[in-house]
Amino acid sequence: MNLNQLTLAQAKEGLAQKKFSSSELVSACLDQIKKTEPQLNSFVTVFEKEALDQAKNADLSKPLGGIPLAVKDNFLTQGQRTTASSKVLDQYLAHYDATTIERLKSAGAIIIGKTNMDAWAHGSSTETSDYGSTKNPWNINHLPGGSSGGSAAAIAADQAIISVGSETAGSIRQPASWCGVVGFKPSYGRVSRYGVIAMKSSTDSPGPICKTVDDAATLLEIMSGADHHDATSISEASWVRPVKLASLQGLKIGLPLSYFPPQIQPEVKSSILAAVETLKKLGAEIIELPDVLDPKYSIAVYTILQRSEVSSNLARFDGIRYGHDRSFFGQEAKRRIMLGTYSLSSGYYDAYYTKAQKVRTLICQDFDRQFQKVDAIIGPVSPSTALPIGASEGQAMFGEIQDMLVEPSSIAGLPGISIPCGFDQNNLPVGLQIITPQKREDLVYQIAKLFEDNTEYHLQRPKL
């Protein structure tokens, strides 16, 4: 096995036992980037010299000492190019580190590069990037998902050992599903948003994208915790990974029937139902939930609220501060700004924005009601496996449709994870999502870890 193919746990063990150095580990990832970037386009910027320099002096006593990290390009990294994959910020150098980056750096991680994404995180394909689409490592004619498509592709292609992304509607779990890796979306506020270029501030959630559940849990422990810079951050102590469960005996896991919409790809449905059988064998009681609010309602709610917040958040980006004026916005950003401004305008605010907020409350209340019956909820992450390149073109609602099964839990601020659970006939990965009540990342981890330990889907890698 090449060093770049190691999991975080394996890399930490190898470094501790002096089987290889941090410089060798970083070099292996950089070599893989050089080899595969012409095909994949996972990165906007690679920090080769900086990463190699840091590797020479890596402090291996730290939790992530000497480990190469890929960072979604909407996280500010001090003195380094940060673009959010938009030409508006093409030459922008961040003045400070995002809280998440500060914590990861303090833990010893080495940022190897900034990954490609949908511009401003607007999309679920990474096709709206001003720097070209990222390709899926399992099949370069297919999309990696988005908006954290570069981070997911980089992990699937072993270009980095660990990565971070951000989710607003599904942008950690959906690309993780399409790229066959693990994406752990925490409760809203568990990880600070400070220094992450805002898209929809009321649901933006930074989180890890990794090769295994344990790797993601390690990152989440380091990333989480209260932050005085972020008034929405959870004030409690950082999340700490719980002990692993021996079985799921006594746990009730809900299966929402509405999460199998008519357009679902048959192989996605069969993979999820096979995962249900695995969870049953592990001791879980599976309870069908026929009355979960149809996720189609989340599409309308998310669309109105997200566009409204975008029209506010993108208003700060002008030529005086950032070098390029608003004419550099892509078509997707312009569409979202216009729709959001319309929704917030006099005469339409109550008809659209206020009503959407009321339905959002109903979605939250529906989850509360379901969690009185079950401990966790499972289902598919996306209605399909990775779609072909170009699938999002001319589809104004592409992202909302592809994220429809993860949007409800994001709107409600719930923690969730995507883990590999199968493949379709074209060998494209299928993801299983696990959702729990707010602040119950411990249960997400325990269920996902036990499933991973008893299956081998996460061990399969794409052949590049």
Which residue among 27, 42, 72, 133 is the active-site one? Answer: 72
Residues in a beta bridge with 296? none
Query: What is the spatial distance between Cα 362 and Cα 304, in angstroms, rounded to a whole number?
Result: 16
Q: Mutual orientation of helices 213-223 and 99-106 as an angle, nearest 10°?
A: 110
Pull the structure tokens for residue 199.
């898209």
Residues 119/149, Cβ–Cβ less than 8 Å:
no
Query: What is the spatial distance between Cα 365 and Cα 83, in angstroms, rounded to a whole number?
Result: 37
In the block, residue with structure tokens 């975008």: 310
Query: What is the spatial distance between Cα 291 and Cα 412, in angstroms, rounded to a whole number?
Result: 17
Strands of the sheet containing 68-72, edge to edge, are: 43-46, 110-115, 68-72, 162-167, 205-210, 182-185, 416-423, 429-435, 376-380, 252-256, 285-289
Nearest C-alpha neighbor of 182 from the set 448, 412, 375: 448
Chain mean position to CA 424: 22
Judged on CB neighbours under 10 Å (0-12, 13-18, 19+), 454 is exposed
Pull the structure tokens for residue 133.
């689409």
Query: What is the spatial distance between Cα 143 and Cα 326, in angstroms, rounded to a whole number?
Result: 28
Q: 171 catalytic, yes or no?
A: yes
Query: What is the spatial distance between Cα 432 and Cα 419, in angstroms, rounded to a whole number?
Result: 5
Chain mean position to CA 443: 19
Chain mean position to CA 372: 27
H or E element that contains 422: strand 416-423
Which residue among 85, 171, 177, 233 is the active-site one? Answer: 171
Which residue among 85, 147, 233, 392 is the active-site one? Answer: 147
List, as one string, the DSSP characters of 161-220. SEEEEEESSSTTHHHHHHHTSEEEEPPTTTB--TTBPPSSTTT-EEEEEESSHHHHHHHH
Fill in the DSSP letter of residue 413.
Answer: T
Active-site annotation, residues: 72, 147, 171
